[in-house]
Structure 1
Amino acid sequence: MKNLKLILLILTFLFQAIAIVFFFINIVVALYLIALNVLCAISLIVVIIKERIKEKREEDDDDYRNY
């Protein structure tokens, strides 16, 4: 998961930076890059949410406050 988050974060940054450059060169390519940027950002958010849910379940299993 850590590698996937890192890859998605780097891709999101790269797509955004390259899209800004392509706005001056070719607007259609820039729009495709922004679409890819949004897709990577949404994927990153989904991965983070899944990881948080998994961590919460592990914390609930290790909860011994009822003793």
Structure 2
Amino acid sequence: SRAVIRNIKEDLFWALFYNACGIPLAAGVFYPLLGWQLSPMFGAAAMSLSSLCVVTNALRLRGFRPKR
């Protein structure tokens, strides 16, 4: 159960980091300052990649062997 909780915490950390960067970029916050704007196509690809990373991180638990 500790490995599962650690995995959940890792996913939450990366999701928080990803969304803290991605949401302002998608909302156009950086456009007046830096001219950065996110295309909806790249936003959709980034969300898909985020989901893929979470699933891949969860699949690492299949190979987990507890220490005895």
TM-score when normalising by structure 1: 0.48
Structure with bigger helix share is 1
Greater radius of gyration (CA): 1
TM-score of the superposed pair, with normalisation by structure 2: 0.48
